[in-house]
Amino acid sequence: MDIAAKTPAPESSPTTARAAVPPAMPTPALISAMLAASKQVSDLIFSPGRAPQVERNGQLVEVKIPGLAALTPQDTRRIADDLIGRHEHAAHKLEQDGSADLSYSLPGQARFRVNIFRQRGTCAIVMRVIPNAIPDFAALCLPPQLAEIANLRTGIALVTGPTGSGKSSTLAAILNKINLEKAYHILTIEDPVEFLHNHKKATIHQRELHSDTPTFALALRAALRQAPKVILVGEMRDKETIEIALEAAETGHLVLSTLHTIDASKTIERIIGVFPLSDQQTIRNRLSKAFRYIVSQRLVPRKDGSGRIAVVEILKSTMRTREYVEKGEGEGKTLLDAMRDGSTEGMQHFDGELEKMIRAGTIDLETGLGYASNHGNLALELADLVAQPPAAAAPAPRAKPAGGAEFEIVR
């Protein structure tokens, strides 16, 4: 009998085999490493088949982490489970609807607005970084006239723009100014709660969708009985929410909210278009009386590569703009015309602000034209610059591997 053949393998073998596979980096440590990759990280992205990525100045950059050349479906599922934790509703939403929103916090570092979603049978994750400090107007380079919103007593003020344009930061700065200066009751309804506001001169309560209330509309309806002076609604998503927001503004509240629209005219169209044709003129009449400001913004890369700057369009309630909202726009009677002519009243339009920034050297010509509402008109206004001979071409950048630039994290 061959005893050697039946002798069990040495116990060190499994240990050696296990050691060949690096242990998974804990999710908090992974997130911390990604944040440390750059001071200008706005989003963290986890996608199967790719290395972890961060968004910096609008561009995705891979973060090289030893032992994690590319995330597997098991990796992203594990990270998703760690982020969901005890958020039972988020787990249910992910299972039932295929996506879930939640907030996540790394104490002492940052908070995040998280969206987890299924794609091709696997989980992917996007985490928007929310700074711990509430930004002010100077830090955001916002037009000083927006501070007037903090002095409003009634009406609706909207901040609009595409995803990632800084709407939440602008609203946080406005709300913080009210909190510092007014002895008001402020109520926010958010999905999820982003910037954390402490009681200052005002008393502020922040309600989170799903954990504190099932819907925006129900929370907004309840807010009318909770004696707030200021109500912030994270997003005007549907007909019922818009209708209650109008009602709140008409009954003596200041309502702040956001919409995913690109400019003031599209914002009015979106609000009116939510309602059936039979109700649209009534809504026009109500909105023309209720709105105070529509602020639209876009984040544009700076010429020096140091980050992005907000380009802001401001529509203010005046006799002329109220008429255009109520009766609709026509030839020579557009909201854009009113903003062009309303600089003395604190109004401004995108292309006018882009022209100023291009001439000041804050953004370059090509970038500014790419973000213009009307490329042709802005090019005409900048004809003196367009006609200049181009500067000497910079050396061609060294080719990079697919996926863009990389940061390397050393463990």
Cα separation, 319 vs 301, whole angstroms = 36
What pLDDT is attached to residue 397? 52
DSSP code of 341? H
Domain count, the chain: 2
* Residue 219 resides in a domain: yes
Residue 290 buriedness (CB in 10 A; 0-12 / 13-18 / 19+): buried
Question: End of a domain among 131, 166, 186?
Answer: 131
Span of 57-66, 269-278, 293-302, 327-336 with lowest mean pLDDT:
57-66
pLDDT tier, 405 (very low <50, low <70, confident <90, very high otherwise): low
Indicate whether 177 and 80 sit together in one domain: no
For residue 82, give the CATH number of its domain.
3.30.450.90
Indicate whether 309 and 172 sit together in one domain: yes
What pLDDT is attached to residue 387? 58
pLDDT digits (tens, 9 = 90+) for 136-194: 999 899 999 999 999 999 999 999 999 889 999 999 999 999 999 999 999 999 988 88
Contact 62, 53 (CB under 8 A): yes
What pLDDT is attached to residue 49? 95
Cα separation, 264 vs 288, whole angstroms = 13
> Per-residue pLDDT averaged across 207-228, rounded?
92
> Per-residue pLDDT averaged across 14-39, rounded?
71
* Residue 143 resides in a domain: yes
pLDDT of 10 > 90? The answer is no
Residue 115 Cα distances to 31, 58, 100, 126, angstroms:
15, 18, 6, 5
- Provide the edge-to-edge strand list for the sheet that holds 230-233: 203-208, 185-190, 230-233, 254-259, 155-160, 291-301, 308-316
Question: End of a domain among 80, 107, 131?
Answer: 131
pLDDT of 6 > 50? The answer is no
Which residue is it, tokens 């008001």? 184
What pLDDT is attached to residue 45? 97
Residue 16, number of CB atoms within 10 A of its CB:
10
Cα separation, 194 vs 166, whole angstroms = 12
Residue range(s) defining the domain that contains residue 360: 137-386
What pLDDT is attached to residue 406? 54
pLDDT of 225 > 50? The answer is yes
Indicate whether 126 and 164 sit together in one domain: no
Span of 59-63, 220-224, 397-401 with lowest mean pLDDT:
397-401
359: tokens are 């001439």
pLDDT of 243 > 50? The answer is yes
Indicate whether 199 and 340 sit together in one domain: yes
Task: State the DSSP string of 282-295.
Answer: HHHHHHHHHEEEEE
pLDDT digits (tens, 9 = 90+) for 47-79: 999 999 999 988 899 998 888 889 999 999 999
* Residue 3 resides in a domain: no
Which residue is it, tokens 């030839």? 331
- Give kind and range of the element (H or E) at residue 115: strand 110-119
